[in-house]
Amino acid sequence: MNVLKILIVLTSHSQLGDTGHKTGFWVEEFAAPYYALADAGVEVTIASPLGGQPPIDPKSEAPESQTDATRRFFGDKDLQQKLANTIPLSQVNAADYDAVFYPGGHGPLWDLTNDKNSIALIEQFYNNGKPVAAVCHAPAVLLHTKKANGEPLVKGLKVTGFSNTEEEAVQLTKVVPFLLEDELKKNGGAYSKGPDWGSYVLQDGLLITGQNPASSEEAAKLLLELLNKK
């Protein structure tokens, strides 16, 4: 049986708008999917726009943000070493992987959303029948992607992502470059959400999206199920 190969793409962006605060990727949204996939025997490769160490959102390192997966990550020197050496997106070939997974954090709103390498990569995966998964703020990476027919990738598809009410709750509505829920709707996505901070994951064909940090492990497990059916 062939080993499944999944690419995880993280942000390289560390500035939270012009607040002077730091952002990056949210640890739980990386750690929970990573372990769900790796523990199932998947070969996971990690990439980012700039390569090297992606910035971790400091708030995701706070005591109240810890989960079993994050505690495992902070004690896992091998994975931390792997994370410090992510591959630059420009060197990634979609043909080498079975699927791609994008964890969130606020960082992707600034870099991955408009990153030409990321956009091309997602289109290569999706238009060649390979699943694309994104959680929390990471569905923003879909906003400039197109289906083979030229339409927005999310048009007519069931999607979710960090909701306007969750953005209000963390008081960043005026800081972020756009509200993800609004933009997914503008692109023709059939957006829906579950309760704030609860796990809510949607699959529509090859696209899997999760609403928030709590949705990240479920999204990875759904991705595994989808790949194992193929």
Paired tokens of 84 = 């410090």
Residue 167 catalytic? yes
Among residues 13, 28, 106, 137, which one is catalytic?
A: 137
Amino acid identity, position 212: N
Paired tokens of 79 = 């994975």
Among residues 136, 166, 181, 217, which one is catalytic?
A: 136
Task: Give CA–CA dist 52/69, Å, rounded.
Answer: 22
Amino acid identity, position 220: A
Contact yes or no for 209/187 (Cβ under 8 A): no
Paired tokens of 76 = 């896992």
Which candidate, 42, 46, 50, places its Cα nearest to that of 13? 50
Residue 168 catalytic? no
Residue 61 catalytic? no
Among residues 28, 123, 167, 218, which one is catalytic?
A: 167
3-state secondary structure 13-50: CCECCCCCCECCECHHHHHHHHHHHHCCCCEEEEEECC
Give the position of tokens 């931390």.
80
**Which residues have a catalytic role annotated?**
136-137, 167
